[in-house]
């Protein structure tokens, strides 16, 4: 095993000018990540300099067998924390051979919204709070929970420490450092209300990069849990009953909101969001109705509420934002399995366009 580890950790930098590029894309479910690697001459730091590639879309639920070729367009590059050196992770989106985005490619439409001059002028910032649950592989039950049983009630676990309160911290810390190494703008981590549930935050990130960074952070987390023999779940309500669900609260501001007089801009944006509540809910993740019940720090799925410092609201405005008269707000509706390309671009479209 020592020799195997030595080989896995081989630094290729002095031996060759070749690098390994891991091309990453989103599969047919809209939530499953896929990847494969190729050898290129490096180093490379611009996705435009990377070649397009293809894959068998009939094996990912994205194309029929008789016309199965799907083309990968490289869009963003991150340093590879697993292979290190000059090796890279490449976020791609997927197109037909004719150059049309396939139905599960949500990045293409988002990029169009973010390249609109009105949106570009407002420099939209996002901070996404990604909650997730770590599960024991064979039994699909949260780590730290007794098999077939339940831990003590919620209360001591949120930001808790100790072997009886925090389960899986080694995975969480490994992910934190790997994201920093990769160049993801990860801004923090914490243990969540339900034991075995954790959160990391990505941002502030501008425009389309928020989606790229969250997807690569999810990819890195999946790879680390693969090594650890644990399953990561992005289900918005992994355990029924009196346990918190998992969300992806999305913090948002525009240039106008961050400047003096921004509070009025925030209030207008919230009003616009209230008129499109149903459309946003429909796009904010599958199974969200099991989470947005009006309990466990949520607003009911059919009700639009906003408030200052209210964690039971659809939209929460922070005390500092109210006091300063400018700042940001938090959309608490997105589920943990939401597509960040969809959510971030939809918020920009509703509030700016």
CATH of the domain at 329: 3.30.590.10
Q: CB neighbours (10 Å) of residue 154?
A: 16
Looking at the fold, whether 122 and 167 belong to one and the same domain comes out as yes
pTM, rounded to two decimals: 0.97
Looking at the fold, whether 186 and 123 belong to one and the same domain comes out as yes
The CA distance from 196 to 135, in Å, is 8
Looking at the fold, whether 244 and 320 belong to one and the same domain comes out as yes
Angle at 186 (CA atoms; ends 155, 352), nearest 5 degrees: 100
Q: What pLDDT is attached to residue 148?
A: 87
Q: Residue 27 is part of a domain; what is its CATH number?
A: 3.10.20.70
Looking at the fold, whether 42 and 12 belong to one and the same domain comes out as yes
What does the CA dihedral 146, 151, 156, 162 come to, rounded to 10 degrees?
-20
Looking at the fold, whether 41 and 72 belong to one and the same domain comes out as yes
Q: What pLDDT is attached to residue 112?
A: 98
Looking at the fold, whether 246 and 314 belong to one and the same domain comes out as yes
**The domain boundary residue, chosen from 81, 103, 125:** 103
Looking at the fold, whether 42 and 160 belong to one and the same domain comes out as no
Looking at the fold, whether 158 and 301 belong to one and the same domain comes out as yes
Range of the domain at 37: 4-103
User: Does residue 149 belong to any structural domain of this protein?
Assistant: yes
Q: CB neighbours (10 Å) of residue 137?
A: 13
User: Does residue 249 belong to any structural domain of this protein?
Assistant: yes
The CA distance from 171 to 224, in Å, is 7
**Which residues does 193 contact at the CB level (< 8 Å), separation at least 6?**
154, 157, 158, 244, 296, 297
pLDDT per residue, tens digit, the chain (353 aa), is 789 989 988 888 889 999 999 999 999 999 999 999 999 998 999 999 999 999 999 999 999 999 999 999 999 999 999 999 999 999 999 999 999 999 999 999 999 999 999 999 999 999 999 999 999 999 999 999 999 899 999 999 999 999 999 999 999 999 999 999 999 999 999 999 999 999 999 999 999 999 999 999 999 999 999 999 999 999 999 999 999 999 999 999 999 999 999 999 999 999 999 999 999 999 999 999 999 999 988 999 999 999 998 888 999 999 999 999 999 999 999 999 999 999 999 999 999 99
User: Does residue 341 belong to any structural domain of this protein?
Assistant: yes
**The domain boundary residue, chosen from 56, 77, 103:** 103
Domain count, the chain: 2
In which residue are the tokens 């969250």 written?
214
User: Does residue 315 belong to any structural domain of this protein?
Assistant: yes
Looking at the fold, whether 132 and 187 belong to one and the same domain comes out as yes
- Residue 18 to residues 12, 51, 299, Cα–Cα distance (Å): 8, 15, 52
- DSSP letter, residue 196: T
- Joined together, the tokens standing for residue 176 give 């934190």
**Whose CA is closest to 157, among 139, 142, 175?**
142
Looking at the fold, whether 133 and 87 belong to one and the same domain comes out as no
Instruction: Return the SS3 of 285.
Output: coil
- Joined together, the tokens standing for residue 281 give 């809910």
**The domain boundary residue, chosen from 103, 133, 157:** 103
Looking at the fold, whether 81 and 126 belong to one and the same domain comes out as no
User: Does residue 301 belong to any structural domain of this protein?
Assistant: yes
- The residues pairing with 198 across neighbouring beta strands, listed in sequence order, are 132, 191
User: Does residue 323 belong to any structural domain of this protein?
Assistant: yes
User: Does residue 110 belong to any structural domain of this protein?
Assistant: no
Looking at the fold, whether 68 and 12 belong to one and the same domain comes out as yes
The CA distance from 208 to 124, in Å, is 9
User: Does residue 348 belong to any structural domain of this protein?
Assistant: yes
């Amino acid at each position: 095993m020592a020799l195997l580890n030595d080989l896995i950790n081989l630094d290729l930098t002095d031996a060759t000018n070749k690098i390994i590029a891991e091309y990453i894309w989103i599969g047919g479910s809209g939530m499953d990540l896929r990847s494969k690697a190729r050898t290129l001459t490096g180093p490379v730091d611009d996705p435009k300099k990377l070649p397009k590639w293809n894959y068998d879309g009939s094996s990912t639920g994205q194309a029929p067998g008789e016309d199965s070729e799907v083309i990968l367009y490289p869009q963003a590059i991150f340093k590879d924390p697993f292979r290190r050196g000059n090796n890279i992770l490449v976020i791609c989106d997927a197109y037909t051979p004719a150059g049309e985005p396939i139905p599960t490619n949500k990045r293409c439409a988002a990029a169009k919204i973010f390249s609109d001059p009105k949106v570009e002028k407002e420099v939209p910032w996002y901070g996404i709070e990604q909650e997730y649950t770590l599960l024991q592989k064979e039994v699909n039950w949260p780590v730290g929970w007794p098999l077939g049983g339940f831990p003590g009630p919620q209360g001591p676990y949120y930001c808790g420490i100790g072997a009886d309160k925090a389960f899986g911290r080694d995975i969480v810390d490994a992910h934190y450092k790997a994201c920093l190494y990769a160049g993801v703008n990860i801004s923090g981590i914490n243990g969540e209300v339900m034991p075995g549930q954790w959160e990391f935050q990505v941002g502030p990130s501008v425009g389309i990069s928020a989606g790229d960074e969250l997807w690569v952070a999810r990819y890195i987390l999946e790879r680390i849990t693969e090594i650890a023999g644990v399953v990561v779940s992005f289900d918005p309500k992994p355990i029924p009953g009196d346990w918190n669900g998992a969300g992806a609260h999305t913090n948002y501001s525009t240039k106008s909101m961050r400047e003096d007089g921004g509070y009025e801009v925030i209030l207008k944006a919230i009003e616009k969001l209230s008129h499109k509540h149903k459309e946003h809910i429909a796009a904010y993740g599958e199974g969200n109705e099991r989470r947005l019940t009006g309990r466990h720090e949520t607003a009911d799925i059919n009700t639009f509420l906003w408030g200052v410092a209210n964690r039971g609201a659809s939209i929460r405005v922070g005390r500092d934002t109210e006091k300063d008269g400018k700042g940001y707000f938090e959309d608490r509706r997105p589920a943990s399995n939401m597509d960040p390309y969809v959510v971030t671009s939809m918020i920009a479209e509703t509030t700016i366009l």
